[in-house]
Amino acid sequence: SPTPDLQTVVREIAEEMRARPDRGEVATYIPELARVDAGAFGLVVIDADGTVAAGGDADVAFSIQSISKVFTLTLALGMVGDRLWRRVGREPSGSPFNSIVQLERERGIPRNPFINAGAIAVTDVILSGHQPREALGEILRFMQFVAEDPSITIDEAVAASELRTGFRNMALANYMKSYGVIDNPVDFTLGVYFHHCAIAMTCRQLAMAGRFLAHSGRSPSTGYSVVSAERARRINAVMLTCGHYDGSGEFAYRVGLPGKSGVGGGILAVAPGRASIAVWSPGLDASGNSHLGRIALETLTKRLGWSIFGL
């Protein structure tokens, strides 16, 4: 049978997802996130030629939360290179995103850069030698650069909400600090961390931002090299193995693409050589990953034959 048209597939999946009764639970531990419309659904796929296929709420901004960790990892690797791996591991944790248990056994070194502890350690690396506002500016400008959209901003209400209720993250940061894994004052590091998690983006902007990962480290539209092909490949590997916390195995099994989720209900997925994909549905599963977002991606990769593991 001929390859189905991308725009048709995307539109059909958006309609199918919106018709489903199962939605998952919207995150409430960050009070501001509990206010989003649980019925929202957006999907955007951008192929190698830059053709954009969009369905549902493709242009509604949402809180990217942990998806920002892909971009802070990229930035930190650019700043300190492979020395970053002395601060943070790259093995799947098999634990929830906000887990503290492994830190004691592993002397304060977080398992990977995509769980909260690991991302806080990565943020600390970006912060060193800068004021918090400079580090945050650096992260936001990098996001605007890769998304080719200077209008991207931080949702201050989400950042403030998380700061007020971020007791678990404070515990993680202080615990790592006791092992010397955090160099800067804990409040400074957490301030930058909470703010980059509060970046608001649409599926369209997020799919644009992920293009360099799908195309060997280059933006296919500008031709700019964001990272080397080797680094892009490695970031994708960490996304595949660690991007969905204790749901990473299940995501690889069902979707078969590197992907990173956030508790705002977004997922950025990468089909190497083919496309960058962003999906958003705020209801989460038990691991804190978007319930319908994962099902939408599973449906997409199946219909298009895009799993990295074969047809």
263 is catalytic: yes
Q: Write the binding mask 32 to 71 for ligand GLN: x where contact by CB under 6 A, - elsewhere.
A: ---------------------------------xx-----
Strand 153-154 with 259-261, pairing: unpaired
Q: In the complex, what is the shortest distance from the CB of residue 196 to ligand GLN, in angstroms, rounded to a whole number?
A: 9
Query: What gap in Å lies between CA 71 and CA 55, rounded to an integer?
Result: 25
Q: Is 145 exposed, middle or buried (0-12, 13-18, 19+ CB in 10 A)?
A: middle
Across the strands, what pairs with 276?
46, 270
Q: Write the binding mask 178 to 197 for ligand GLN: x where contact by CB under 6 A, - elsewhere.
A: -------------------x
The reply on whether position 263 binds ligand GLN by CB under 6 A is yes
Q: In the complex, what is the shortest distance from the CB of residue 5 to ligand GLN, in angstroms, rounded to a whole number?
A: 33
Q: Which of 74, 93, 116, 241 binds ligand GLN (CB under 6 A)?
A: 116
What separation in angstroms does the CA of 228 have from each of 81, 167, 215? Answer: 12, 37, 10
Catalytic pick from 9, 10, 69, 261? Answer: 69
Query: What gap in Å lies between CA 307 and CA 252, rounded to an integer?
Result: 9
Residues ≥6 apart with Cβ < 8 Å to 181: 87, 108, 109, 110, 121, 124
Per the annotation, does 112 bind a ligand? no
The reply on whether position 282 binds ligand GLN by CB under 6 A is no
Q: In the complex, what is the shortest distance from the CB of residue 230 to ligand GLN, in angstroms, rounded to a whole number?
A: 27
Residues ≥6 apart with Cβ < 8 Å to 311: 305
What's the chain's Rg over C-alpha atoms?
18
The reply on whether position 161 binds ligand GLN by CB under 6 A is no
Residues marked as catalytic? 66, 69, 193, 245, 263
Binding site for ligand GLN (CB under 6 A): 65-66, 97-98, 116, 162, 169, 197, 262-263, 288
